[in-house]
Amino acid sequence: MDADLKTLLIGVGAMTQTGIMRRARIQTCRTCHHPILAGLDSERAALEARCDLDRLSTTGEAEALLAGRTTYDLHGHTGDRPVLERRDQWTIRTPADSRLVLASHTCHQPIPAAWTTPMPPARPQPTQRELF
């Protein structure tokens, strides 16, 4: 990226010194080299959000919060670009099972399997007899 463009983006608050922008992107943690999702967590007064890639269940979100991790909604926003938004007292009322919720990344502490949302069971394919 051009140095002048980077300086301009940092100056207007569209990018941080470390290159994090509003749009969430998969990166590698600089410390532990684990894959993470990173992006700014808001349009205004944003902080850098770095999340593990494991989707949380509603119970898993509670466990993550009790463990001191911040949770984020991952969703499309303005042209379906993926963005992270911090879950607060208003958005946390919607259960994590109905949204794509991620926990903040902590080096060398992977998300326990008990916190994650299991994939829905595959629907059985109808047999030819059932089709007619």
Distance CA(57)–CA(123), nearest Å, equals 21
* Spatial CA neighbour of 51 closest among 61, 37, 39, 71: 37
Q: Is residue 69 part of a domain?
A: yes
Does residue 4 belong to any structural domain of this protein?
no
Q: CB neighbours of 131 closer than 8 A, spacing ≥ 6?
A: none
**CA 92 – CA 71 distance, rounded (Å):** 9
Q: State the pLDDT confidence band at 65, using cuts at 50, 70 and 90.
A: very high
Determine phi and psi for 43, rounding to 5 degrees: -75, -35
Q: How far apart are CA 127 and CA 106, in angstroms?
A: 47
Structural domain includes residue 129? no
CA 82 to chain centre: 9
Does residue 49 form part of some domain?
yes
Q: What is the pLDDT of residues 80-101, one digit of tens each?
A: 678 898 998 888 888 887 888 9
In the prediction, which pLDDT does 32 show?
95
Q: What global pTM score does this model have? A: 0.73
pLDDT at 46: 73
Residues 106/46, Cβ–Cβ less than 8 Å? no
Residue 71 lies in a domain: yes
Domain count, the chain: 1
**131 located within any domain:** no
**In a domain? residue 10:** no
Domain that holds residue 49: 15-117
- Would residue 124 count as lying in a domain? no
